[in-house]
Amino acid sequence: MSAIESVSNIATKFKDEFTDTASQLKQRASQLQETAPQLASEIQETVEPFKKDFLATVQAMDDVSTPPLVVLSSLTWSTILILGSSLANLVSSYLLAPIFLLLIGDWGALAGVLVGVPLYGYFIIKSSVAKDAADSTIRFFLLGAALVNGLLTGFLIRNSFLSATPCASMVVGVATVLYPIAAANFGGKRQLLLGVSVGGSLAVTLTLGAILGKLTGAFLALTLLYGACTVLALQYIFQHAKDESAKTYTYQLGLLVSTTAAYLLIHSIFGMSADAHANYKDSR
């Protein structure tokens, strides 16, 4: 067989393979087009209960029957989770960023923070609760997830600086301290419970920021977002935790992830480079 015939045979073979592949893709596209409405309907059916629950939770303003101890324990551990994440954030920003840059990159870290950690944490919580795992086992799993969350977040904001930032663990922590006081004085009055605990926490944080001269746009926006995340977590706890045996791990994870998302959002809006941040500090 001559060289020309060999090349011709190979070309014919490749042409046939491309033709077959194109035919298969066309067939799959046709099948997908036929099943797309059914798939969309199934997705909508799956999402609809979560949507209804979210709307009912956010809009609920009736009195609550959640035992104060359940709320207090949930907020206390959430404060520990957020504090652990913040500390891991600092470590990652200065020490581990080069390693993460090589291993996963920015998009991988962002997917880990907003998708990987929440989904993996959710399924582990559900599995652990179904197996009747010890409370301490689940809580320390959450702490591990918080540390991973903080490491990835620190990597993401390694080159971004804010004029000033409130401490998320402080916002949640002050609400934790104020909640039992509100519960003792106002019982199950939802508006007053939220107003005294979260509203009082925001007032303390903003006052402290003003005293320290840190009350910038970034500080104010992030404080309000942290407060909104805390209110949402409390609303879910009020809605679903009706007795002292209620499990609130999912809402603790949600509060951790939502405060992290708020932190990343404010960095994307107000974040500045190291040089710009140094110039800002010199101008103060």
Q: What would the DSSP string read from start to end of 49-96?
A: HHHHHHHHHHH--S-----HHHHHHHHHHHHHHHHHHHHHHHHIIIII
158 and 204 belong to one structural domain: yes
Question: Cα(215)–Cα(45) distance, rounded to whole angstroms?
Answer: 45
Question: Cα(233)–Cα(238) distance, rounded to whole angstroms?
Answer: 9
30 and 69 belong to one structural domain: no
Task: Kindly state the percentage of the chain with pLDDT values over 90.
Answer: 50
Buried b (16+ CB within 10 A) or exposed e, 187-210: eebbebbbebbbbbbbebbbebbe
254 and 123 belong to one structural domain: yes
Task: Give the range among 99-108, 167-176, 224-233, 234-243 with minimum mean pLDDT.
Answer: 99-108
133 and 188 belong to one structural domain: yes
Q: How many domains does the chain have?
A: 2
Out of 9, 29, 59, pick the residue that ends a domain. Answer: 59
159 and 278 belong to one structural domain: yes
Give me the pLDDT at residue 76, please.
Answer: 95
Its domain, for residue 268, covers 63-283
Among 231, 233, 246, 250, residue whose Cα is nearest residue 69: 246
Q: What's the chain's average pLDDT?
A: 85
The stretch 88-103 carries a mean pLDDT of 73
Task: Categorize the per-residue pLDDT at 38 as very low, low, confident or very high, splitting at 50, 70 and 90.
Answer: low
Question: What pTM was estimated for this model as a whole?
Answer: 0.82
Question: Please, where are the H alpha helices in 157-248?
Answer: 168-186, 190-194, 200-211, 217-240
Out of 59, 88, 109, pick the residue that ends a domain. Answer: 59
Give me the pLDDT at residue 34, please.
Answer: 65
Q: What is the pLDDT of residues 152-185, one digit of tens each?
A: 998 888 888 888 899 999 999 999 999 999 999 9
Q: What is the pLDDT of residues 182-217, one digit of tens each?
A: 999 998 899 999 999 999 999 999 999 999 988 899
110 and 185 belong to one structural domain: yes
CB atoms within 10 A of CB 66: 23
240 and 158 belong to one structural domain: yes
111 and 8 belong to one structural domain: no
129 and 200 belong to one structural domain: yes
Give me the pLDDT at residue 244, please.
Answer: 86
Give me the pLDDT at residue 107, please.
Answer: 87
148 and 243 belong to one structural domain: yes
Give me the pLDDT at residue 45, please.
Answer: 61
102 and 163 belong to one structural domain: yes
Question: Please, where are the H alpha helices in 93-199?
Answer: 97-103, 105-111, 117-130, 135-156, 168-186, 190-194
CB atoms within 10 A of CB 255: 28
CB 226 within 8 A of CB 262: yes
154 and 186 belong to one structural domain: yes
The stretch 45-59 carries a mean pLDDT of 76
Give me the pLDDT at residue 112, please.
Answer: 86
The enclosing H or E element of 279 equals helix 274-283
Name residue 48's amino acid: E
CB atoms within 10 A of CB 121: 24
Out of 59, 77, 97, pick the residue that ends a domain. Answer: 59
